């Protein structure tokens, strides 16, 4: 069984996907973390983001793995590093490169083929698993999404500015939705949940109920 959760930045995908995965005993695959890890690799090796030839070479040698909910890039734990401002500012450009998507999508499919899985991202229900048994599209107003991200980040960095976060989210939404390869769009058969006025538990319970119904119908 595959559960696909797509949606824009800050809609609550990862928090909700983790909780649903824990409740069901599924593996959680944070596909955004994979794009972030590869972006981190390019930035730390000072490779120009327009040098597709060089990027393709690096891609071939890159190894990305999850171990106990932490992400490893070529055996190095980069779980914290991939959340930096610099990675966030560049990840949409890197994830728009078709060669990057091809490699990471193959890896996502391989990991998910080994267990019941819940994946979150931008193209899970449309491209990675178009036949997923359950597809959810999470949304929330941009103001609410910026506030959530602000609350998450303020614990680590007192100098952050909510207007800057809102602008960054809007910019990323635009880039992710308008790119040619696998843009962020709602799959025709995805169930949309606007999380603006819902608690985390309300969203989690809605998804758990939907998953239960599917399991009963399909006797999975």
Among 2, 28, 42, 92, binds ligand CDP (CB under 6 A): 92
Residue 34 structure tokens: 């994979």
Alpha-carbon gap, residue 28 to 44, rounded angstroms: 27
126 interacts with ligand CDP by CB under 6 A: no
Among 19, 36, 103, 148, binds ligand CDP (CB under 6 A): 36
117 belongs to the binding site for ligand CDP (CB under 6 A): no
Taking the complex as a whole, how short is the minimal distance between the CB of residue 91 and ligand CDP, in angstroms? 4
Per the CB < 8 A criterion, the answer to whether 200 and 144 are in contact is: no
User: Collapsing DSSP states into helix, strand and coil, what is residue 92?
Assistant: helix
The number of beta carbons lying within 10 Å of the beta carbon of residue 43 is: 18
Q: Which is nearer to ligand CDP, 27 or 215 (CB)?
A: 27
Q: Which helix (H) or strand (E) holds 5?
A: strand 2-6
Closest separation in Å from C-beta 39 to ligand CDP: 8
Query: Which residues make up the interface to ligand CDP (CB under 6 A)?
Result: 9-10, 14, 31-33, 35-36, 91-92, 95, 121-123, 172, 176
């Amino acid at each position: 069984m595959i559960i696909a959760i797509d949606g824009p930045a800050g809609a609550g995908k990862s928090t909700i996907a983790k909780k649903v995965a824990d409740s069901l005993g599924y593996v959680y695959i944070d596909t955004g973390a994979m794009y972030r890890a590869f972006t981190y690799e390019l930035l730390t090796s000072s490779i120009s983001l327009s040098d597709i030839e060089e990027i393709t070479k690096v891609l071939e040698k890159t190894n990305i793995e999850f171990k106990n909910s932490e992400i490893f890039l070529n055996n190095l734990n980069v779980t914290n590093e991939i959340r930096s401002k610099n990675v966030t500012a560049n990840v949409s450009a890197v994830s728009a490169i078709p060669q990057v998507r091809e490699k990471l999508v193959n890896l996502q499919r391989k990991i998910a083929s080994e267990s019941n899985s819940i994946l979150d991202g931008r193209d899970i229900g449309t491209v990675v698993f178009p036949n997923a048994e359950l597809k959810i599209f999470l949304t929330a107003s941009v103001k609410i999404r910026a506030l959530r991200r602000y609350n998450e980040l303020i614990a680590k960095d007192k100098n952050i500015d909510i207007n800057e976060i809102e602008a960054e989210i809007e910019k990323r939404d635009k880039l992710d939705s308008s790119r040619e390869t696998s843009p962020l769009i709602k799959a025709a058969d995805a169930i949309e949940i606007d999380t603006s006025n819902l608690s985390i538990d309300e969203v989690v319970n809605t998804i758990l109920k939907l998953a239960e119904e599917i399991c009963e119908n399909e006797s999975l």
